[in-house]
A and B are shown apart, each in its own frame.
Chain A
Amino acid sequence: MTGWFLRRLLGTALLVLLLSFLCYALIGLMPGDPLDLMLTADPKLTAADVVRLKAAYGLDRPLLARYLAWLAGAVRGDLGYSRLFARPVLDVLWPAFGRTLLLMGPSLALALGLALPLGVLAASRAGTVLDRVLNLAALATVAVPAFWLGLVLVVLFAVELRWLPAGGTAALGDAGVSPRHLVLPVLTLALATFGTFFRFVRAAVAESLAAGHIRTARAKGCGEAQVLWRHALPVAVLPVVTVFALHLGAVVSGALVVETVFAIQGMGRLVYDAIMGNDFNLALAALLLASAATLLANLLADLAYAWLDPRITYG
C-alpha cells in the first residue's frame, strides 16, 4: 500500500509538471498579446515602445526559455510577479485562495449534508410523492443556472428585504471575511451542487437496496433504519465519493460565475482575469494549484475506496 501511494504521489507530481508546461504553452499561444493590444489602443505608442516593453516584461524571449526560467524560479519558491496586479504572485494568490476555500468549503459541506439524508430518504421511499417532489427539486437546482439563482437571491434578500449584503466578502474597511456576506453565495453554490449529489446518492442507495445482502439483512430481522444506514449506505457511498472528489478540485479552482455575481475576488475570477490578461505567472500558479488539488482529491478518493470497501486493495 505504501509503495502504491508513493508511486501515485510521484505520478501526480509528474502530471503537475506536464500540466505546468501545457498551461504555459497554451497561454503563450493565445492570440492577442496585451502589449499588442496596447499598441492598438494607444496611438502614442510606437512599435519600438512595444519592443522595449516586451523586453522589460521578458516577453521577447522564446516560450520555452521563458517556461524554463519560470520553472527554475518556482523550484526556488519564487513564482514571480503578477503582471496584472503588480505584486508578487503569492501575495495575490493566497488571499483569493482563502476566500475561495471559505466559499466552496461550506457550500460543498451544505450540499452534501442535504443530499445525503434526502437522497437516502428518497431512495427508501422510491416511487412515492415524497420521492417525486425531491427528485423534481433536485432537477430544478441542476437546471437553473447558478448566475440566475444568485441574482434572484440577491434581488430578494439584499435589494428587497435588505437582510443580507449583495456582494463582497466583508463590509468595506473590515478585514477578513464576514459570515453574513457568505450566506448568499454559499447558498447559491450549495443549491447548484445539491442536485448532482442528491441524484447520485439516490441512485446508488436505490441500487444497493435491491441487492442480495439487503434481502439477507431484512431476513435476519434488521430494522428498516439499520438496513438503510448500516447495510445500504456504506455500499452506496462509493460512487458518491468519486463525485465528491471531483468537486473537491473546485474548492481550489473556484466558481467563476458565482464569484462574478457576488463580486468575490476568489480563485475562479483570478484564473479568468489572469488568462485573459496574459498574466503568465499568476495564471500558471493558480491553475497548477487547482490541478494539484484535483489530483490529490482523486488520490484521497482512491484511499477512501480501500477504507470503505475491504474488497478493494492496492498492490
Chain B
Amino acid sequence: MPSLNRRAALALAAALPGLGLARADTPAGRRLVVGISQYPATLHPNIENMAAKAYVLGLAHRPITQYGPDWKLRCYLCEGLPTIENGGAVPTDRPDGKRGVDLTYAIEPGAVWGDGTPVTSQDAVFTWEVGRHPQSGVGNAEFYRRVERVTVLDDGTFTLHSSVLDFTYNAVNDFALLPAHLERPVFEADPAAYRNRTLYATAPETSGLWVGPFLVAEAVVGSHVRLVANPRWWGAKPYFEEIVVRAIENTNALENALLAGEVDMIEGTLGLSLDQALAFERRHGDGFTVLYKPGLTYEHLEPMLANPALGDLRVRQALMYGLDRDALSSQLFAGRQPVADTSLSPLDTMHSDAVVRYALDRDEAARLLDEAGWQVGSDGMRQNADGAPLELTLMTTAGNRTRELVQQWLQGEWRKIGVSVRIRNEPARVFFGETVSRRRFDGLALFAWISSPENVPRSTLHSGEIPSGANGWSGQNYAGYVNPKMDALIDALEIELDLERRRALWADLQALYAEDLPAMPLYFRADPHIWPNWLEGVEPTGHLGATTLGVESWRRKSAR
C-alpha cells in the first residue's frame, strides 16, 4: 500500500511544528518576494536543468559541492573537498590504461532533512541508483556513467568510484542527494513513472524533501513557490523567515510588479533584459540597487567553416578587424558588457590577456580581404575573381531584441569594408533545434554559450565533437573546426591536475583561439540584478551556481 504510506508521511510532515507558516504569521520585514521570469518545470533536483529551478533549490536544497561567488569550488553539504593532496581522492589505474579516482565525501555533521531525518550515505546510494536507472528520466547521465559504484563507509561517509580523473574530479555539483526514506518507495514502485510520481512533483510541501535553510511551503504551478525558514537548518540562520519566488514571464509585467511593490527584487539571470534594466535605472535608480554582473554567457558568431569564404582565416580576421566592439559595448550596452577576446571570461581564474586583440582597423581588414582574393567592385562591395559577391548570411533567434540590434550593427560595420550581410532569423526552437544543431546555417550564427568556471571547450572546439547524422547530432562544434593542436591542448588540459601547468595550457588555448578564430568573440553578457536599497548581502555569482546559495547573508540593512 505505497500510496497510503505516502499519505501518512505527508500528513505527518504537515503536522510537524514550524511548517506551513501562514502569510500573516510572517512579519513584513522578514518576508522577501523575488521576481523571476520563469517557473520551474519541476523541483526535482536531478530531473531537468533550468535556471529557475536552480534558483529555488539554492534556498531549499543544498548541493554537495558547487562553485561559490568567488568562482572557487566549495562544499555545501560535505565536510571538506576530497583532494589527492589530503587523501580524500585516490587515483586508480583502470584496465583500459586510463586513470579513475575514488572520492570520499563526509556529509556535513548535523545535516538533516527538513523532517529531522539525518542525511546519510544511504541517500547517496539511492540517488546514484536513481541516476543510473535508464527509465528514471534523470538528465545528466554523464555523471552517473562516470561513477560506477558507491561504497558506504559509514552513515556519514561514502566513496564515489569514478572512471575518469580530470582536474574537476572532486566537483560533484550535479549529484544532488535525494531523501531515500521518502523517495525510495516511490521509485521502487515504478521506476518508469518515478519522474511523474516523485514527491518533488506530487507533494513538494513535504518537509523531508528539503535540505537547506528554507522549506517549500507552497508551490503554485506557474505562479510562485513560497518557502519558509527551515527550523532544522543546522547552518547560519537566515534573516528572512519567508521567501516567495514569484514567476512573471513578461518582463514588462515583472518591472511593473517591482514598481508596484508586489515583488521586492528581480533576479538578474531570470529578469529584465539589459536595455530594460538600463532604462529602469535611469528612471527609478534612486530607490533600487542595480548591479550588472558580467558572467559566463559568451555572445559570439559561429562561422560555418565549410563556407569557402569563412573557411579562409584571413576573411574571419578581416571581419574582426572591421568591428569596433568597444563602440558596440558602449553604444548599445552603456559599457556594461565587456568585450570578449576569447570564450574565457575575464572573471575566470584561467583567463589570459596574452592573446591577439582585434581592435578596429579597417585598413588591415581591407589588406586581408585583398589578399584573400576579395577585391572592391564598382559598387564598393567586395567580390572574387569570378565576380561572386562576398555576401554572408547572418542568423540569430528571432524576437531577441538585443541580438537583432547587434545584427544590424554588424551589417552596418561590415558594409564599410565591402562585405554584404543578409539577415535571416528564426524562432529559437527552430534556430537551435534544427538549424544550428544540424549545422544547416551556411554563414554566421549569432548566439551565446553558457558554461561553468574553467570549462574545457571540448564539446565546442574538439574535432571529435562535430555534429553529424552518424553521431546522432551530438557535440557542439557547429562551425566544424578542426585543428590537431587544439585537440591536443584540450586532451592535455582535461587531465592536467597541476594548477600552474594547467594555467599554461589555458594560455596556449586562448592564444590559439584568438589567432585561429574558430568562433568570433563579441562580448560577455551581464545580468542586471535589481534589489531594494534596504537589502544587503546579495552576491550574484556570474556563473550557473545560484545566487540563492548565499541566502544566509541576505538581510535588511538595519538588521545588523
Contacts and interface: CB of A to CB of B under 8 A. Distances in A.
B437 A39 contact: yes
Nearest to B224: A172
A167 B195 contact: no
A277 B41 CA distance: 10
B472 A51 contact: yes
B432 interface: yes
Contacts of A49: 139, 141-142
B276 interface: no
B338 to A, nearest CB: 23
A183 to B, nearest CB: 14
A42 B142 CA distance: 10
Given A37-B432, A43-B476, A173-B226, A87 B256 contact: no
Interface stretch (B56-64, B206-214, B244-252): B244-252
A270 B222 CA distance: 9
B44 interface: yes
Contacts of B41: 84-86, 277
B260 A173 contact: no
A46 interface: yes
Contacts of B142: 44-46, 49
A167 B432 contact: no
A167 B257 contact: yes
Contacts of A261: 250, 252-253
Contacts of A41: 432
B260 A172 contact: no
A32 B136 CA distance: 23
B261 interface: yes
Contacts of A45: 139-142, 474
Number of contact residues on B: which range applies?
35 or more
B443 to A, nearest CB: 19
A95 B222 CA distance: 11
Interface string A189-217: 00000000000000000000000000000
Nearest to B456: A43
A167 B253 contact: yes
Contacts of B223: 168-169, 263, 265
B155 interface: no
Given A31-B430, A37-B432, A171-B23, A166 B222 contact: no
B462 to A, nearest CB: 10
A87 B221 contact: yes
B553 interface: no
Contacts, number: 165
B46 interface: no
Interface in A255-275: 260-263, 265, 269-270, 273
Nearest to A164: B260
A53 interface: yes
B381 to A, nearest CB: 33
Given A32-B432, A49-B141, A84-B41, A40 B437 contact: yes
Nearest to A85: B221
A107 to B, nearest CB: 18
Contacts of B134: 52, 56
Interface in B34-90: 41-42, 44, 47, 49
A50 B137 CA distance: 10
Contacts of A276: 429
B3 interface: no
Contacts of B198: 86
Contacts of B22: 173
Contacts of A165: 260, 262
Interface in B114-155: 134-137, 139-143
B532 to A, nearest CB: 15
A155 interface: yes
Contact of B244 (A88, A95, A173): A173
Contact of A154 (B246, B256, B436): B256
A85 B429 CA distance: 19
Interface in A35-67: 36-53, 56-57
> Which 10 pairs, one residue from A and one from B, show the smallest C-beta to C-beta distance?
A47-B472, A32-B433, A173-B23, A265-B222, A32-B429, A43-B459, A44-B142, A166-B260, A86-B201, A47-B474
26 contacts: A37-B429, A40-B437, A41-B432, A42-B139, A44-B142, A45-B140, A47-B471, A49-B141, A53-B137, A85-B222, A86-B41, A87-B221, A88-B196, A158-B256, A158-B260, A159-B256, A166-B259, A167-B253, A167-B256, A172-B244, A173-B22, A173-B218, A263-B223, A263-B253, A263-B257, A265-B221
Interface of A: 30-34, 36-53, 56-57, 81, 84-88, 92, 95-96, 151, 154-155, 158-159, 162, 165-169, 171-174, 260-263, 265, 269-270, 273, 276-277
